[in-house]
Each structure stands twice: as C-alpha cells, then as structure tokens.
C-alpha cells in the first residue's frame, strides 16, 4: 500500500526508518507511523492526559485546556503545516500526541518539584520521562515493554535532553552529543507545541479572569489582530472577539512558519533526511515573527504564569509532590507493591527505589495526586 505519494524527498519515510527496537512484521492496512499513532492513542498514559494540566489545575474549571486537549491542538496545527510542506503527517501526528506523555501532575510546578526531589538520584526531565513511558513503562504487549515505536517517533518525543542523560541513551541520545537535528517532523511538532500553548494560554488566561484584554493590548501581535477583528466586525465584543483574535493569531503563526520554513529548506538544498540531520534547524518562524512570539511569551510569563493566584496553586502543587516523594522514600512500604523495590537489590537500591517513586508520581493525574496526598497524610482518609 502506498502511503507517501506526496512526500517531499526530505520527509521521513517508514521504509527509510531506523525501525523499531524489537522487529515486528509490517502492518497490513496502515503505515508504520500510523501504527505508532494508534498505539499512542490506546496507551494508558494518553488517557491520563485528560486529567493533567499545565497552567490551571484540573478541578479549576471544565473549559480550560488539559494536556489531552493541548496535545490534540498540537497535532492539528502540526498536521496542517506538515501537509503544506509535504512532510509525513502520520509521524508528526504521532509525535504531537505523545510529546507530553511523561508530564507530571500540576504542570511545570510538578516537574520542578520532582526534579528537585530526584536531585541525588539522577534528576527528573519530562521529555526523558515521555520516552520512558513509550519505551518502558506502558504494559500493553506480550513481546516487549512499552509501545515499541519507530526510531523517528521516539526521537521526536525526546525533544530536549541533558548531555549527561543523552550519553546514557545510546542511538536515541546521540544527536544531542553530535549536535545534529532530528527530522523536520520532530522540529515541526516542537514549534506546533509552542503555537498551541501561547495561544490557548491567552484564551484560558482571559477565561479565568487572571488576564484582561486591556493588558493584552500591550502585546503588539495581539493588538494588531484585535484591531483587525474590530475593523471587520464593528461593535464585536466578549468571547466572540477573543476567539476571532486568537484564530487569526494562530493562522498568522502557521502561515509564517510554512513560508519561512519552505524558504529555509530551499536555501539549505536538503534532499534527504540525512541532509536535514546535518543541517541547521530548518523549521523556523521568520525573524520578525520570532520577535512577536517572544514578546507574547514574555507577557504570559510575567502576567499569567507568575500571577499570584497561579503561584498559590503551584506552591501547593510543589508541596504535595515533595511530601509524597519524601514519605515514599522514608517508607517504601506505603507504595503499591509494583513500585516497591525488593530489599536485596544492593547498593543501588535507593536509586532504583527513587526512580520507581518518580515513575509513580509522574504517572499521577492532578486529582489522583491530590487524593493520594490526602490518603497519606490525613488520618480520616482511607
């Protein structure tokens, strides 16, 4: 079956893939990267994304983005761009849907807390944890641990990685040491992530009342599109005006990314995935858009991510993660049996136990973490 008639020569192709860690017969009715996407959607970690958040905690409101809706938005944006650039849509979709699988509960606060708790045991990086989920932690198949995904999907999931960790990862970590690029599909999923969260954080920030449209008018990119909306629809206001503005912002970013990337790809003269790997990053915004996006990011950091109401929630979240980690490390017998390390594991035992605790905590949804914390610390909770 032909799946790739429209692919550019520099797009990732299943037949040129570095393959799966455990060889499997080819799928009958879909491409190898479609199979990866399907495995991701059927995974346990994927369903947990519904109850994990990045800025707002899951119980704060039903309309805020969750990691699940965020991942779907990333996949939508990435696929639109991939189709325009004749890149592999199936691969870009698989990477997008899997990119946040390793995230802790409570977004960045949870990740920072877990990384701090794990300081003496190798640390905690959410990108590496996403790879760990698809390589090791999922229990779905008789023949192997994890989902046994294609190399290019795994490489895209491992978006960043410290040098120290990269050197332990073998082939998948090599590009961080050699300073090479991943496939264009991986580069694209990374930027689609950025487009998605910058825009939906504006939307959620306004919905929550933590941001106002008057404040956002300080951001040139927002003001420009807001003015355009008001000129096109005089008298427009409220949610409708916000949505019209945000959809224009998303569109402008997508169009810019397509045009700027197309130009860079042409200038670089890449003809294969190998050329892409040896080139500089080719999926990029124009310099002008880069600056606009940076201004928006700065605004969100100062006004939303560091808003005192958000700080209160992230402070509680940090405490919950630290307290659970310490309690489990002091008394591993409080852990579910699967996460307890047998006592005869020798010198390495603490490290192995800490990693198991990190896996357990990272796998928790926001509400599961809140409930588990209560069960550990409140005598009247069972």
Residues within the interface to Mg ion (CB under 5 A) = 100, 193
Residue 117 is classified by DSSP as H
For the chain, the straight-line distance linking the first and the last C-alpha, in angstroms and rounded, comes to 55
Cβ 109 to Mg ion, closest distance in Å?
15
How near is the Cβ of 236 to Mg ion at its closest, in Å?
Answer: 31
* Residue where the block lists tokens 């079956």: 1
Q: How far apart are CA 160 and CA 182, in angstroms?
A: 11
Nearest distance in Å: CB 295, Mg ion: 21
For residue 64, the SS3 value is: coil
Nearer to Mg ion, 105 or 332 (CB): 105
Could you tell me the smallest distance in angstroms from the CB atom of residue 82 to Mg ion?
A: 17
Residues 6+ apart with CB under 8 A from 99: 71, 74, 130, 156, 157, 159, 189, 193
Closer to Mg ion by CB, 74 or 354: give it: 74
CB of 246 to Mg ion, least distance (A): 17
The CA-atom distances, in angstroms, between 334 and each of 337, 340, 362 are: 9, 9, 17
Q: Are 229 and 244 in contact (CB under 8 A)?
A: yes
Residue among 53 and 303 whose Cβ is closer to Mg ion: 53
Smallest gap from residue 137 Cβ to Mg ion (A): 19
CB of 379 to Mg ion, least distance (A): 38
Residue (of 359, 293, 352, 296) closest to 324 by Cα position: 359
Phi, psi of 48 (to 5 degrees): -65, -25
Please choose, from the candidates 124, 110, 114, the residue with its C-alpha nearest in 3D space to the C-alpha of residue 317: 110
Residue 129 burial (C-beta neighbours within 10 Å; 0-12, 13-18, 19+): buried
Q: Nearest approach, Cβ of 71 to Mg ion (angstroms)?
A: 7
Shortest Å distance, C-beta 73 to Mg ion: 9
C-beta closer to Mg ion: residue 249 or 357 = 249
Closest to Mg ion by CB, 100 or 372: 100
Contacts of 181 (CB under 8 A, 6+ apart): 175, 187, 276, 277, 278, 279, 280, 281, 282
12, 211, 237 from 382: Cα distances, Å: 51, 39, 49
Q: Count the residues in the chain.
A: 382
Residue closest to Mg ion, measured at CB: 193
Alpha-carbon torsion (24, 30, 31, 33), positive or negative:
negative
Question: Closest distance between Mg ion and the C-beta of residue 285, in Å?
Answer: 17
Nearer to Mg ion, 191 or 324 (CB): 191
Of 100 and 112, which CB lies nearer to Mg ion in the complex structure?
Answer: 100
Nearer to Mg ion, 107 or 146 (CB): 107
Judged by beta carbon, residue 195 or residue 289, the one nearer Mg ion is 195
Cα distance between residue 235 and residue 253, in whole Å: 26
The SS3 assignment for 85 reads helix
Closest CB to Mg ion among 90 and 100?
Answer: 100
């Amino acid at each position: 079956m032909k799946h790739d008639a429209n692919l550019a020569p520099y797009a990732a192709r299943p037949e040129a893939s570095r393959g799966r860690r455990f060889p499997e017969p080819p799928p009958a009715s879909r491409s190898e990267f479609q199979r990866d996407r399907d495995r991701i959607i059927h995974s346990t970690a994927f369903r947990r994304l519904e109850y994990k958040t990045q800025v707002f905690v899951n119980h704060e409101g039903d309309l805020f983005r969750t990691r699940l809706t965020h991942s779907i938005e990333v996949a939508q944006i990435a696929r639109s761009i991939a189709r325009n650039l004749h890149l592999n849509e199936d691969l870009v979709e698989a990477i997008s849907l899997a990119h946040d699988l390793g995230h802790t509960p409570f977004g960045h606060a949870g990740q920072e807390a877990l990384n701090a708790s794990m300081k003496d045991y190798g640390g905690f990086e959410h990108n590496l944890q996403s790879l760990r989920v698809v390589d090791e932690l999922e229990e779905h198949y008789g023949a192997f641990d994890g989902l046994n995904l294609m190399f290019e999907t795994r490489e895209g999931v491992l978006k960043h990685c410290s040098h120290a960790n990269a050197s332990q990862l073998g082939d998948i970590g090599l590009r961080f040491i050699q300073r090479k690029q991943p496939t264009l599909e991986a580069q694209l999923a990374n930027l689609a992530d950025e487009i998605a969260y910058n825009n939906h954080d504006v939307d959620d920030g306004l919905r929550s009342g933590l941001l106002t449209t008057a404040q956002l008018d300080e951001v040139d990119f927002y003001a420009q599109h807001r003015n355009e909306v008001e000129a096109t629809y005089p008298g427009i206001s409220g949610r409708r005006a916000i949505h019209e503005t945000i959809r224009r912002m998303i569109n402008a970013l997508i169009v810019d990314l397509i045009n700027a990337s197309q130009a860079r790809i042409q200038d670089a003269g890449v003809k294969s995935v190998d050329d892409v790997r040896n080139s500089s990053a080719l999926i990029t915004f124009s310099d002008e858009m880069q600056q606009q996006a940076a201004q928006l990011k700065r605004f969100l950091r100062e006004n939303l991510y560091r808003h005192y109401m958000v700080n209160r929630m992230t402070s509680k979240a940090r405490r919950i993660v630290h307290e659970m980690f310490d309690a489990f490390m002091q008394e591993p017998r409080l852990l579910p049996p699967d996460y307890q390390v047998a006592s005869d594991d020798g010198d390495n035992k603490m490290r192995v136990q800490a990693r198991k605790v990190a896996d357990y905590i990272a796998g928790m949804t926001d509400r599961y973490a809140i409930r588990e914390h209560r069960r550990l610390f409140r005598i009247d909770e069972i």
